[in-house]
A and B are shown apart, each in its own frame.
Chain A
Amino acid sequence: MAASHIHDALQTEIKDHLRTISEAHGATGFESQIRDQIAAAWRPLTDEITVNRMGNLYATRRANRKRADSDQENGQPSRKIMLCAHMDEVGFIVRQITEEGYLLVNMLGYPDARIMPGKRAIVHGKRDVTGIFTVLPQFAQPADQKDKYPRTSNLFLDLCMSANRVHEAVTVGDWITMDTPLLELKNDRVAGKTLDNRACVAAITAALKLLQERVHGWDVVAVASVQEEQTLLGARVAAYEINPDIAIVLDVTFAKQPGGKPPTFALGGGPTLALGPNLHPLLYDAIKASAERVSIPLTPEVQPGETGTDAVEVQIAREGIPTALLQVPLRNMHTTIETVDMKDVLQTGAVMAEFIAGLPTDFLLDPDLLP
């Protein structure tokens, strides 16, 4: 399947889906709302959906290739590939309610507090309440804070209501996410919150849609994992429970932008495929070959150590799981204006669909091939 097979219609569908899941809310540790949205999208594309006790979403699409008679006689189950994208987002949590009704907050995951002044956020308390982040004016800042961006501890969240009304709706410990509609830019690009990692959830959705038209001999388990941004709990638990034969983890990487620290990757240049000790070299080669066969651009991304993604946990779960890491280039990471190119999202889905459709039953059974 060449890149040209990614029809405009599919790109529009996936963009609308990405808008829905980008604007939905699910801070790290509080993922139920976003899980519901993703489940609604994956249910029609898969055979079975379950939710694990820690909150991971598992959606299984069973192999649809007619199996060799010998396999059926031996009762061999289909081998399994796990596609894993974290569904949680960075956010805040209510630490204290001041006498006047302002909220002081702590972080959930690592949002970039420096950009928060003037931005809207939603507190998910007894009901959702919208507020605006602010900081002390310059004249009220102590000397060492003047001309500095705020830390999370310097932020106030203004709910624009009296303290009494705040207490009716909000409690210490309520979770907070940003209120940002997805902005459409030129050139199929979109900017908004939480494209880290909803862009990759959308890439999995694209892969599942493309697989509707393909024959594959492996079971595909799509996983939307919890808590990547703080603890990597979801990935570890998913790898244990699913126990796949191989796994592809999806996350975002750094796109080229002013001041970016190399290596960075062009928006619209396709996904990157990570290579280094956290990734299985033969799986890397196979995915690369598969993409080349259908002319999907795939850029190698060197990762000298732990990759800071779900792949950190998946590779060493149980007795070890061969893991690959596909990443979508993204500008302005951990802000409310994260920017991706929809073509990259679609290409990422296409790489996965192509690779899965081409997986032979005996893939990676021979460890002697390891370099």
Chain B
Amino acid sequence: MTNPTIDTATDSTNIPEFAALSGSLRALSNAVAPAGMEAEVRKLIMEQIRDHVTDLHIDSIGNVTAIKRQAGGESNGEERPALMLVAHMDEPGFIVTEVGDDGLISVEAMGSFDPRYLGAAQVQIGKDKIPGVFTWKPIHHDRSMDIRSLDDTAIDVGASNAGGTCVKVGDRAALYGEYQRIESGDLVRGKAFESRIGCAILLALVTGDDLPIDVSVAFLTQHTIETRGAGIAASRLKPTSALVFTGVEAFDLPRDEDLPEHYSAVHVGHGPVLMVGERRHIGNYTLIRALEQIAEQTDQPVQKQFAGRSDAALIAHASSGVSLATVGVPMRYPSSANNVASLRDIDATIRLVRVALSQFPLS
């Protein structure tokens, strides 16, 4: 795969609706950015926002921060905007721990995967995106249904000795995936949607029509490593409130009647997800209620979810505290290279936020 750039032409053919959004998401999704190797996504983002923002800055952990002034470019007098918009860039991946004499490569995971999706996975390693596969002990030799550890497998790039791999300890790897629009509808599949959908939303807000207020933006790194980029960006931008954008896992499969009711279900195609709370953060109630009302007024269905872990916690805890809400876009199969999401849900989220910005500060 060549280095992706944003290109609407590919997505315009036959499916004009959401072509620009799809083109943007395609480039972001196909780009490879496990924690500590976010350059490819960072470059795409910088390229896109450069002419639309001021104070463009990359900090020591790799976050991209900037300020987007309102229409007319006039600031409302404050150095730092009150509202920060956030997405993260990195995708779950792997880090090379050892390159064997037999040419097989040992790794550990960075970020959390549902291990049932990792068996016999295809991967790409390092800046050169060297193709590889996780070996899998054949069923003829082992029929056990117990989950296998990454320790019992290795990545095979075809080399028969260490030198032949062109891989070194510390290199990062990601799942291999190719973005695709599904049939002629709203759905798309590809990898890394959890991070890249958020990035696509921010890019659309920053590079689209002028915004009614100043905002700061942060594209974070190391979400997959306990969201370590989040607090740093908040410390620099010092917002008083924030909106965090991310993919959130949907549950669209047939639902067993016995499943307890408190396992709420988020569905692809049913609109943006207002994250009422998660393990280390409770969404700001005012923000959430305001978003919900705007959704009602604009006839936009939304969903609610109490689960997950976004960058919210570390942002909320920054300096004097930040009131924030996480707005999610539903997606399926986050642990695979074939995530599924709806362009319509992403578009609806962008619209919802634009209306919300025009009513800021929300109460």
Binding site for B on A (CB under 8 A): 98-100, 102, 110, 112, 114-115, 117-120, 130, 132, 134-140, 147-151, 156, 158, 160-161, 183-189, 191, 254, 257-261, 267-268, 331-337, 339
Contacts and interface: CB of A to CB of B under 8 A. Distances in A.
Given A120-B338, A158-B332, A187-B158, A140 B259 contact: yes
Name the residue among B157, B164, B187, B249 with the largest chain A CB count within 10 angstroms. Answer: B157
Given A132-B333, A137-B251, A140-B251, A267 B135 contact: no
5 contacts: A112-B120, A132-B333, A140-B256, A149-B145, A260-B137
A117 B139 contact: no
B197 interface: no
Interface in B137-187: 137-142, 145-147, 152-154, 156-160, 164-166, 176, 182-183, 185, 187
Nearest to B133: A337
A156 B340 CA distance: 15
B84 to A, nearest CB: 31
A185 B141 contact: no
B111 interface: no
A100 B254 contact: yes
A337 B122 contact: yes
A99 B332 contact: no
Contacts of B130: 186
Given A186-B158, A258-B154, A148 B135 contact: no
A271 B301 CA distance: 61
A114 B104 CA distance: 22
A17 B58 CA distance: 48
A118 B157 contact: no
A115 B119 contact: yes
Contacts, number: 165
A186 B116 contact: no
A115 B120 CA distance: 6
Contacts of B255: 140
Given A117-B117, A118-B117, A335-B136, A254 B131 contact: no
Nearest to A146: B147
Interface string B182-210: 11010101000000000000000000000
B122 A102 contact: no
B138 A254 contact: yes
B126 to A, nearest CB: 13
Given A114-B139, A183-B131, A332-B133, 20 more contacts: A100-B252, A100-B254, A112-B120, A112-B139, A134-B333, A137-B249, A138-B114, A140-B256, A147-B147, A161-B187, A183-B133, A185-B131, A185-B156, A191-B133, A191-B158, A257-B135, A258-B154, A337-B122, A337-B134, A339-B158
A189 B158 contact: yes
Interface in B231-259: 249, 251-256, 259
Contacts of A156: 253-254
A184 B131 CA distance: 7
Given A132-B338, A158-B332, A260-B137, A339 B116 contact: no
Interface size class of B (residues with CB under 8 A): 35 or more
A interface, over-half SS: loop
B135 A161 contact: no
B137 A257 contact: yes
Nearest to B185: A161
A343 to B, nearest CB: 11
Nearest to A161: B183
Name the residue among B131, B145, B152 with the largest chain A CB count within 10 angstroms. Answer: B145
Given A118-B336, A254-B141, A148 B147 contact: yes
Question: Lowest 5 A-B CB distances belong to which pairs?
Answer: A118-B336, A185-B158, A115-B119, A186-B158, A189-B158
Given A156-B253, A258-B154, A337-B120, A117 B141 contact: no
A142 B332 CA distance: 21
A149 B189 contact: no
Contacts of B332: 132, 134, 158
Contacts of A136: 253
B138 A332 contact: yes
A335 B153 CA distance: 14
Contacts of B333: 117-118, 132, 134
Contacts of B135: 257-258, 331-332
A87 to B, nearest CB: 20
B157 A186 contact: yes
B330 interface: no
A337 B120 CA distance: 6
B21 interface: no
A191 B137 CA distance: 15
Name the residue among A147, A148, A191 with the largest chain B CB count within 10 angstroms. Answer: A191
Nearest to B116: A117
Contact of B254 (A98, A130, A148): A98
B23 interface: no
Contacts of A140: 251, 253, 255-256, 259, 263
Contacts of B183: 160-161
A259 B141 contact: yes
B157 A185 contact: yes
A186 B251 contact: no
A130 B340 CA distance: 13
